[in-house]
Structure 1
Amino acid sequence: MTEFSPAQADALIGTAEKMIEIWTRLSPEKQSVLLSRFGTKENALAALVTTRLLSPANS
């Protein structure tokens, strides 16, 4: 298993915190769509985090 550097860990934790915050602001309908697509809240959050980490704005 590869360990994260402190900077990578901080970036990952910060992004995850932002995605959880975004999740709580989503309407129940949007949460439902994400849950039906990804199966679990954890998978939906992982998809949000991955999308955030891979978005061009973070390059």
Structure 2
Amino acid sequence: MKLILLSLITGALVGFVFALLKLPIPAPPALPGIMGIVGIYIGYQVYIWMAGTFLK
């Protein structure tokens, strides 16, 4: 939980600094960006599952 909170605070600070400097946000559009992150996580979990199942 501590890591999640730290990540959220860091992201908020970076977003604030970018807005303050009037720079474009350093992230992809909201939904496609979130789906990309979810896809990466799912792919990682599938690999962990397959490695544990088939590579024993």
Q: TM-score higher than 0.5 here?
A: no
Q: Which has the bigger relative contact order, CA under 8 A and spacing at least 6? A: 1
TM-score (norm 2): 0.41
TM-score by length of 1: 0.39
